[in-house]
Chain A
Amino acid sequence: MKMITKLLAGATLGLTMAGPVLAQDDPTKVGFIYIGPVGDGGWTYEHDQGRLAVEEEFGDAVETVYQENVPESADAERAITQMALSGADLIFTTSFGYMDPTMAVAEKFPDVKFEHATGYKRADNVSTYSARFYEGRAIQGHIAGNLTESNIIGYIGSFPIPEVIRGMNAAFLHAKKVNPDVEFKIVWAFTWFDPAKEADAAKALIDQGADVVLQHTDSTAPQAAAQEAGGVYTFGQASDMSEYAPMPRVSSIIDDWAPYYIARTQAVMDGTWESTDTWDGIGPGMVGIGEITDAVPADVKEEALALKDAIASGEYHPFTGPINKQDGSVWLAEGETADDGTLLGMDFFVEGINAEIPN
């Protein structure tokens, strides 16, 4: 019955507000709001893996619901409200643009706990959580700088928000470190998920001479475009995207939300849930680095893994000075590391990136 409800619900644009489940004890209801479809192979896919892990961990003690393809607009508020009305105890809203809608709904439902991914606004019943993707970007940049022969690295950005800009800066700094001639070409897609547009963006970058394409959008389309073009390297984004290994995908950044989702669900069950701000990286395991394939020379792979270990242990911070801002002014002095506040609000490129951030 549950299966049928799910299928039917799936057929109506992923409105998976499954009907009431017949259970003796009232299970803890955990809701998820997704920006794309669970089958995107990237960002949303990994959040859904986290949801499935929660189900696996708690069995009948939880009930999870999700709604996919929720736009970052007034629709989001409607979707979150509906989920809160349907009795959810804990709701994860998994995209930056859900920040204000989440805050608005949270005010109306003080007894429901909310968790907003990648945002910076909190309340008594709203936590924020994010992963230090930039740590993975540093490793990508290191590999990309070594691999490129045209010295042009293409980068598909989604929206000009701090999270994306941070990734670009981290990748650029580490590519530049191993290859001083490297140049970044940046395309803003202004979407998180539009396979055709993402593929077009990848093609445009390849046409412009890029032989490494990094992406900060959610689908595997740029991987397919790079594969078709041939001789272009890519990295899996948010998910391993290993179906494109060993070429074009030579490594990946994997988001592992499962431990966090399980811990937060447990906290709600125990009544110990508090509003917190979590920002974890490679060390605690929230950011994983996918297997580096044989398309990468062995010495580069070794350096990349050493970099990963250094970041994981806290021995090295990807933003360590001297680093200048794009306009040439000093941002970090020799040996100084960036503080989280600046990183969270990052709205500038570092010196050497020859592009502008759209408003």
Chain B
Amino acid sequence: MDSINPILLIASLMVASTPILLAALGEMVVEKAGVLNLGVEGMMITGAVVGFAIGVNSGSSALGFVSAALAGAALSMVFAIITQVLLANQVATGLGLTLFGLGLSSLIGKPYVGVKAPGFAKLDIPFLSDIPVLGPILFRHDPMVYLSLILVAVVWYLLARTRVGLILRAVGENHAAAHALGYKVVRVRFAAIATGGAMAGLGGAYVSLVRVPQWVEGMTAGAGWIALAIVVFASWRPWRILLGAYLFGGITVLQLNLQAAGSSIPVEYLSMSPYLVTILVLVIISVRGNHGAPGSLGRVFHASQ
């Protein structure tokens, strides 16, 4: 009884990591386009409350997720207009977006405190989910876990293998040059910011509809900031985002399980380990001299410059 079941552990770490995976992947797309949006937490919590509200009212979690994505994208458009059209400072605007999202969500969420979430069916594929070991790990999740994994592949493919991805990266690396080549820098960035917002919204809704599942004020509790850290940890690469998210999520779940199992490893070391790994990765990156950050990240672009 005193040992951890590794199969259950892996299955639950996938669930715990999905919100930060979605949000971090979205933020990476935004940053690849040269925009730093620190409002991830605000968009996540807005997605969480909107997804929950629509899910409860319609009885359909799927509809809740779609609405959460739309809400996250809508909120990110506020950021896009302020930073891309009005050319405001991205850091300040992003922080403002987080504060705004937290306040807005508690306002919207007031009637939903203590309300129960609609169920979200897990995939139970006959035969496949009965395979020992692999079944519970791979084939018994809810659809969002699979969607998040598919999205990692899609983002990787789009960025690395398509013309759209090339344009996006060009805009992020050197917006003046991209502009000179005739690409619509602001338009591309609007699209990237909306994508990031939608994915943060999905991540938030996953917390309120699946992981917890209920609405509590401030329930994302800093997940958006961890997502931002993961983007740096991953040095802006999709597969490393997956690794980073599962590492962060995995250690959280692992340390809780170790405690429940009565392990003697001090909790503090485990809690601190993801951050230590991040620092280590940053050191390695800077020693190698190639940090991988997009060249125009966080810089204001105006066509006249």
Write the residues of chain A forming the contact surface with B, with a CB cutoff of 8 angstroms. Answer: 7, 10-14, 36-41, 69, 152, 154, 185-191, 193-197, 199-201, 203-205, 207-210, 219-221, 224-225, 227-228, 243, 354-356, 358-359
B5 touches A207 (CB 8 A): yes
B212 touches A195 (CB 8 A): yes
Given A39-B106, A204-B253: A187 and B259 within 8 A (CB)?
Answer: yes
Among candidates B1, B214, B218, B222, residue contacting A37 with C-beta atoms closer than 8 Å: B218
Complex Cα spacing A7 to B104, Å: 9
Q: Does B133 contact A (CB under 8 A)?
A: no
Among candidates A188, A208, A221, A355, residue contacting B216 with C-beta atoms closer than 8 Å: A221
A residues near B12, Cβ cutoff 8 Å: 200, 203-204, 207
Within B150-202, the residues touching A (CB, 8 Å) are: none
Given A13-B102, A203-B12, A207-B12: A219 and B216 within 8 A (CB)?
Answer: yes
A200 touches B16 (CB 8 A): yes
Cβ-closest chain B residue relative to A354: B262
B1-35 contact mask (Cβ, 8 Å, vs A): 1 or 0 = 10011001100100010010000000000000000
Complex Cα spacing A37 to B104, Å: 13
B262 touches A221 (CB 8 A): no
Among candidates A10, A200, A220, residue contacting B107 with C-beta atoms closer than 8 Å: A10
B214 touches A221 (CB 8 A): yes
Q: Does B213 contact A (CB under 8 A)?
A: yes
Complex Cα spacing A354 to B263, Å: 11
Of the 9-residue stretches B61-69, B236-244, B266-274, B287-295, which lies at the interface with chain A?
B266-274
B213 touches A40 (CB 8 A): no
A residues near B128, Cβ cutoff 8 Å: none
Shortest distance from the beta carbon of A184 to any chain B beta carbon, whole Å:
10
Complex Cα spacing A12 to B116, Å: 27
Complex Cα spacing A41 to B221, Å: 16
Q: Enumerate 23 A-B pairs (CB-CB under 8 Å) in ascending A order.
A: A11-B99, A13-B99, A36-B218, A40-B216, A154-B260, A185-B260, A189-B256, A191-B221, A193-B221, A195-B216, A195-B219, A196-B207, A196-B211, A197-B252, A199-B212, A200-B12, A200-B16, A207-B257, A208-B257, A220-B114, A220-B216, A221-B219, A224-B117
Question: How many A-B contacts are there with CB distance less than 8 Å?
Answer: 132
B113 touches A41 (CB 8 A): yes
7 more A-B residue pairs beyond the given contacts A36-B218, A204-B256, A220-B214, with a C-beta to C-beta distance below 8 A: A10-B107, A11-B100, A185-B260, A197-B256, A199-B211, A200-B12, A358-B268
Complex Cα spacing A335 to B83, Å: 71
A200 touches B253 (CB 8 A): yes
Q: Does B110 contact A (CB under 8 A)?
A: yes
B106 touches A37 (CB 8 A): yes
Cβ-closest chain A residue relative to B1: A209
Within B99-156, the residues touching A (CB, 8 Å) are: 99-100, 102-104, 106-107, 109-110, 113-117
Among candidates A40, A190, A221, residue contacting B267 with C-beta atoms closer than 8 Å: A190
Of the candidates A191, A201, A208, A354, the one having the most CB atoms from chain B within 10 angstroms of its own CB is: A208
A residues near B4, Cβ cutoff 8 Å: 207-208
B residues near A199, Cβ cutoff 8 Å: 211-212
Given A197-B252, A358-B266: A225 and B212 within 8 A (CB)?
Answer: yes
Shortest distance from the beta carbon of A344 to any chain B beta carbon, whole Å:
24
Shortest distance from the beta carbon of B11 to any chain A beta carbon, whole Å:
10
Complex Cα spacing A10 to B105, Å: 10
Complex Cα spacing A147 to B114, Å: 25
Cβ-closest chain A residue relative to B2: A208
Complex Cα spacing A256 to B122, Å: 41
Write the residues of chain B forming the contact surface with A, with a CB cutoff of 8 angstroms. Answer: 1, 4-5, 8-9, 12, 16, 19, 99-100, 102-104, 106-107, 109-110, 113-117, 207, 211-214, 216-223, 252-253, 256-257, 259-262, 264, 266-268, 271
B109 touches A200 (CB 8 A): no
A residues near B211, Cβ cutoff 8 Å: 196, 199-200
Shortest distance from the beta carbon of A228 to any chain B beta carbon, whole Å:
7
A residues near B102, Cβ cutoff 8 Å: 13
B216 touches A41 (CB 8 A): yes
Cβ-closest chain A residue relative to B223: A196
A residues near B212, Cβ cutoff 8 Å: 195-196, 199, 221, 224-225
Shortest distance from the beta carbon of B3 to any chain A beta carbon, whole Å:
9
A residues near B103, Cβ cutoff 8 Å: 10-14
Complex Cα spacing A358 to B266, Å: 7
Of the candidates A14, A187, A207, A221, the one having the most CB atoms from chain B within 10 angstroms of its own CB is: A207
Among candidates B213, B217, B257, B266, residue contacting A224 with C-beta atoms closer than 8 Å: B213
Complex Cα spacing A36 to B116, Å: 21
Complex Cα spacing A243 to B222, Å: 26
The 5 closest A-B pairs by CB, nearest first: A11-B103, A37-B217, A39-B217, A243-B114, A204-B256
Shortest distance from the beta carbon of B33 to any chain A beta carbon, whole Å:
28
Complex Cα spacing A186 to B256, Å: 9
B residues near A228, Cβ cutoff 8 Å: 213
Complex Cα spacing A97 to B33, Å: 42
Cβ-closest chain A residue relative to B8: A207
Among candidates A69, A154, A200, residue contacting B218 with C-beta atoms closer than 8 Å: A69
Complex Cα spacing A13 to B268, Å: 29
Given A36-B218, A39-B110, A221-B216: A200 and B256 within 8 A (CB)?
Answer: yes
B residues near A14, Cβ cutoff 8 Å: 103, 106
B residues near A358, Cβ cutoff 8 Å: 266-268
A residues near B113, Cβ cutoff 8 Å: 39, 41
A residues near B8, Cβ cutoff 8 Å: 207
Given A39-B216, A196-B221: A204 and B257 within 8 A (CB)?
Answer: yes
A residues near B115, Cβ cutoff 8 Å: 243
Cβ-closest chain A residue relative to B96: A12
Cβ-closest chain B residue relative to A210: B260
Complex Cα spacing A228 to B122, Å: 12
